[in-house]
């Protein structure tokens, strides 16, 4: 926390109530420079069979905020590290969305979620930052936003923004973060949720970037899902009891409540109609992030991180940011749901009681049965800090742990299969980590089959990598030139 009336950060000066905002300071402080760094110094040795890139998206306000600022509203910035022939290079670039360019030009007509929505903008009532998620499809990246926005194409090698992605002008709505790519077909399968009807939609884009299917889902009202499941034949959509409050809808404010209703999972064929959806009820809960989803016989199996109470009360030390800080203190455990398409039964099984989030899997096993997943271990304080990593066995519920050294906090990792991998976990876990005391960042490379031993290589990054959101891995042969 800062003392006095002002504090200088890289992108400007913090004053007033923003001095109380922890998510604009410390490991969350934005960086001002876009950097390209080649032939990076490595402690240890990078394996020669590691070829591809680890990307991570996150918020990075181009200007120090003058008004109230939610962490989720920062301008999108991608950080990437590229591996080939035992060498590594690093880049970071802003995602130049339409709203990013409008902000620089002084013409932005929408604010963040702490301010009233601009309903005149119809399908994007808040500033669209494209700061949440990143996927690789058709050789290039797509940056995606958690409130559903316009996908932004980014060059997978240079990180330079290509432009908005509308799939040949045929995209009728928006696309949410956590939409998925099928590794076997190359299809991009997406969902969208909205403050206007239809409340939820879904669609499929071909490997060559053509919109080939679009469907609408009938819901009782607007919902706030965050993720979806994908199998070989189905999409699993979420109707969860976290919804917009009546006063929030009336006053165009981002105000949510927990409704007294069960959670529902809607299983619909990937090329199906909305009226073909099959709903499964389960205990009331909220899910930010799905681990993986697949089919077993008559069952659709979804694993995900289910939220549990974090045990914190809002801390007055954070002033008007106390509620934001409390909500961002994510506590979740891995859970499996089995939805029987023949009987309509939904069975739930808690896999473990350790608190972890931001799960990733070997993307070659996405949408099919998998055994291993990699999660961040949450810090015990109220801020969203990642103190280490778990490797979960989804069959047994067992987990292996690797904790960062004191003062070092990580990002969502990515799993990188080694060249000619022989099994699901024959590869590496890649993760950015930053020292909160020195601001020094590195990228750690961990042998997934010797997980508890920690990194076999630590790539020294000549720039600070702030804490952020979601990432992905792309093999070298998936990246267009």
- Cα angle 178-181-186, degrees, rounded to a multiple of 5: 165
| Residue 103 banded pLDDT, cuts 50, 70, 90 | very high
Q: How many domains does the chain have?
A: 1
Percent of the chain with pLDDT strictly greater than 70:
99
Residue 458 lies in a domain: yes
Peptide bond into 171 cis (omega under 30): no
The average pLDDT across 48-71 equals 97
Q: What is the rounded distance in angstroms from the CA atom of residue 386 to the CA atom of residue 452?
A: 16
Cα–Cα distance for residue pair 352/361, rounded to 1 Å: 17
The answer to whether position 9 is within a domain reads no
- Residue 450 binned pLDDT confidence (cut-offs 50, 70, 90): very high
- In this structure, are residues 74 and 125 in contact, taking their beta carbons and an 8 Å threshold? no
**Distance (Å, rounded) from C-alpha 442 to C-alpha 54?**
13
In whole angstroms, what is the distance from residue 259 CA to residue 276 CA?
26
Tell me if 32 is assigned to some domain.
yes
Per DSSP, the three-state class of 126 is: coil
CB-based contacts of 407: which residues, under 8 Å, 6+ apart? 435, 436, 437, 438
470 marked as binding residue: yes
d(CA 56, CA 370): 23
Rounded CA-CA distance 268/277 in Å is 4
pLDDT tens for each residue of 112-140: 998 888 777 767 788 999 999 999 999 99
DSSP SS3 for 363: helix
Q: Does any domain span residue 11?
A: no
The answer to whether 321 and 20 are in contact (CB under 8 A) is yes
Token pair 């997406």 is at which residue? Answer: 190
Does any domain span residue 342?
Answer: yes
Kindly tell me the burial class for residue 201, based on how many C-beta atoms sit within 10 Å of its own C-beta (0-12, 13-18, 19 or more).
buried
Element (H, E) at 103: helix 98-105
Q: How confident is the model at residue 2 (pLDDT cuts 50, 70, 90)?
A: very low
Helix (H, G, I), strand (E, B) or coil at 26: helix
Residue 215 has pLDDT above 70, yes or no: yes
The whole-number pLDDT of residue 481 equals 66
Residues 333-340 have a mean pLDDT of 98
Residue 23, helix vs strand vs coil: helix
With cut-offs at 50, 70 and 90, classify the pLDDT of residue 391. Answer: very high
331 annotated among ligand-binding-site residues:
no
Task: List C-alpha distances in Å: 53 to 42, 80, 134, 135, 358.
Answer: 16, 7, 12, 12, 19
CA dist., res. 481 & res. 477, Å (int): 10
Are 174 and 98 in contact by the 8 Å Cβ rule? The answer is no
Match 């009728």 to its residue by tokens: 172
Report pLDDT for 4.
61
Helix (H) or strand (E) holding 200: strand 200-205
Per the CB < 8 A criterion, the answer to whether 364 and 417 are in contact is yes
Cβ-based neighbours of 164, under 8 Å, separated by 6 or more? 97, 98, 150, 151, 152, 153
8 occurs within a structural domain = no
Is 289 within any annotated ligand binding site?
yes
- Look over the chain and give the mean of its residue pLDDT values, rounded to a whole number: 96
Number of residues that make up the chain: 481
Tell me the mean pLDDT in the region 246-252: 76
Task: Give rounded-to-5 percent helix, strand, coil for the chain.
Answer: 10, 40, 45
Residues of the domain holding 373: 22-478
Local structure of 87: helix, strand or coil: strand
pLDDT band, very low/low/confident/very high, at 110 (cuts 50, 70, 90): confident
Question: Residue 423: pLDDT above 70?
Answer: yes
Residue 7 lies in a domain: no
Sign of the CA dihedral 102, 103, 107, 111? positive
Strand order in the sheet with 200-205: 180-181, 188-193, 200-205, 211-217
Each residue's pLDDT tens digit, 25-39: 999 999 999 999 999
The answer to whether residue 85 sits within a structural domain is yes
User: What is the band of 295 on the pLDDT scale with cuts at 50, 70, 90?
Assistant: very high
Q: Mean of the pLDDT values across residues 445-460?
A: 99
- CATH number at 220 reads 2.120.10.30
Phi, psi of 318 (to 5 degrees): -95, 5
């Amino acid at each position: 926390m800062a003392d006095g009336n002002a504090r200088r950060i890289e992108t400007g000066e913090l004053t007033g109530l923003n001095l109380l905002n922890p998510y604009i300071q410390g490991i969350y402080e934005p960086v001002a420079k876009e950097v390209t760094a080649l032939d990076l110094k490595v402690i240890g040795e990078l394996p020669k069979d590691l070829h591809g890139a680890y990307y991570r998206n996150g918020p990075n306000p181009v200007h120090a905020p003058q008004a109230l600022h939610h962490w989720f509203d920062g301008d999108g910035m991608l950080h990437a590290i590229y591996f080939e022939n035992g060498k590594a290079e690093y880049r970071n670039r802003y995602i130049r969305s339409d709203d990013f360019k409008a902000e620089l030009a002084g013409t932005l007509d929408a604010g963040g979620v702490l301010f009233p929505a601009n309903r005149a903008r119809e399908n994007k009532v808040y500033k669209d930052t494209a700061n949440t998620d990143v996927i690789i499809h058709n050789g290039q990246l797509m940056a995606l936003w958690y409130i559903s926005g316009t996908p932004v194409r980014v060059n997978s090698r240079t990180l330079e923004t290509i432009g908005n992605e509308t799939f040949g002008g045929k995209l009728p709505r928006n696309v949410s973060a956590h939409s998925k790519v099928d590794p076997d077909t190359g299809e991009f399968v997406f969902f969208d949720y909205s403050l206007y009807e239809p409340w939820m939609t879904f669609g499929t884009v071909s490997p060559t970037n053509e919109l080939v299917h679009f469907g609408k889902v009938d819901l009782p009202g607007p919902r706030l899902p965050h993720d979806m499941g994908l199998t070989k034949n189905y999409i699993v959509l979420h109707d969860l009891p976290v919804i917009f409050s009546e006063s929030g809808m009336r006053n165009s404010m981002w105000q949510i409540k927990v409704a007294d209703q069960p959670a529902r999972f809607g299983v619909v064929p990937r090329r199906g109609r909305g009226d073909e959806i099959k709903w499964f009820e389960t205990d009331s809960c909220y899910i930010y992030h799905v681990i993986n989803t697949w089919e077993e016989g008559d069952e659709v199996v979804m694993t995900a991180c289910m939220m549990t109470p974090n045990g914190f009360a809002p801390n007055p030390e954070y002033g008007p940011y106390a509620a934001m800080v409390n909500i961002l203190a994510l506590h979740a455990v891995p859970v499996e749901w089995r939805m029987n398409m023949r009987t309509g039964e939904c069975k739930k099984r808690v896999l473990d009681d350790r608190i972890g989030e931001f799960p990733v899997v070997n993307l070659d096993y996405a949408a099919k049965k998998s055994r291993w997943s990699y999660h961040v271990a949450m810090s015990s304080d109220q801020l969203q800090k990642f103190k280490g990593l778990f490797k979960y066995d989804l069959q047994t519920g067992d987990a292996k742990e690797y904790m960062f050294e004191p003062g070092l906090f990580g990002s969502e990792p990515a799993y990188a299969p080694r060249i000619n991998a022989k099994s699901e976990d024959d590869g590496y876990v890649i993760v950015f980590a930053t020292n909160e005391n020195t601001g020094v960042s590195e990228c750690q490379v961990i042998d997934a089959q010797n997980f508890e031993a920690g990194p076999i290589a630590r790539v020294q990054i000549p720039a600070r990598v702030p804490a952020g959101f979601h990432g992905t891995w792309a093999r070298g042969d998936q990246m267009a030139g």
